[in-house]
Structure 1
């Protein structure tokens, strides 16, 4: 199974990375529900939540927590939300986003027309907050996956 996420991770398709380690990566979605909406994706091609090992899920959740804290700091959001749906891409991914209320947790208002500069700026805000929180070792040296190859 080769998915669009596998191609992003491999650098075949550009991605705005905010996290990378041996087990997973995190990058901006191209259809954000809120500014700063990120995806935490395992490097392994696991199709869905129920097929992941407990250890992998624990790691993905820990990374999502760090990103959520960074989003709260960057946008002043009272909550960081975590959504796992997986219908759009058959590769496990956790949606992490700053949230102000439950209406922030719906996919129907996702925007697909966000200019690249805005997506870049949002990813950079998350990267800055992750660095400030001591996660510099997991922040890729460049923003785009094409630059990581």
Structure 2
């Protein structure tokens, strides 16, 4: 069971910004920039392109809705999208508010926001959904 499956089951707390029957979006606890959200299918599938078409399409449309809210909550030029899939063997899409390409640099040091800062960020995004 992945850390993301444990978030879905409620074993591990998370700052959830959106949820449906099949999908969940929550804040990255070590974001590249504030407002960095992870979007996942609740079903544990390691590789995004192993997803069935209907689930894949649903995940993409769900991520689009969340990205629109992120862009309003954390004003930026665009919300960057990344699927890397090496860190956790559970499909996830990174949505990252960006004003320049370096905001998407996964090699840079990540932020370490407090639980209070994450809670405030989650509230800002939820309010825009």
- Unpaired runs of at least 5, structure 2: none
1:76 and 1:30 mapped to 2: Cα distance? 20
Match of 1:108 in 2: 107
Question: Structure 1 length as normaliser, TM-score?
Answer: 0.82
Q: How many pairs were matched up?
A: 129
Q: Secondary structure at the match of 2:80?
A: strand
Question: Structure 2 length as normaliser, TM-score?
Answer: 0.94
Deviates more, 1:98-107 or 1:10-19: 98-107
Match of 2:98 in 1: 99
Q: Deviations over 1:28-84 (max 9, x none)?
A: 111101111111111111011121112111111111111111111112211011110
Return the offset for 1:112: 4.9
Q: Deviations over 1:109-131 (max 9, x none)?
A: 3525211111111111110111x
- Unpaired runs of at least 5, structure 1: 131-149
2:89 and 2:112 mapped to 1: Cα distance? 23
Alignment of 1:79-94 (within 5 A): 79-94=78-93
Match of 1:124 in 2: 123
Q: Deviations over 1:73-106 (max 9, x none)?
A: 1122110111100111000000112111111111
The RMSD of aligned alpha carbons is: 1.1
Residues 1:43 and 2:42 are matched in the alignment = yes
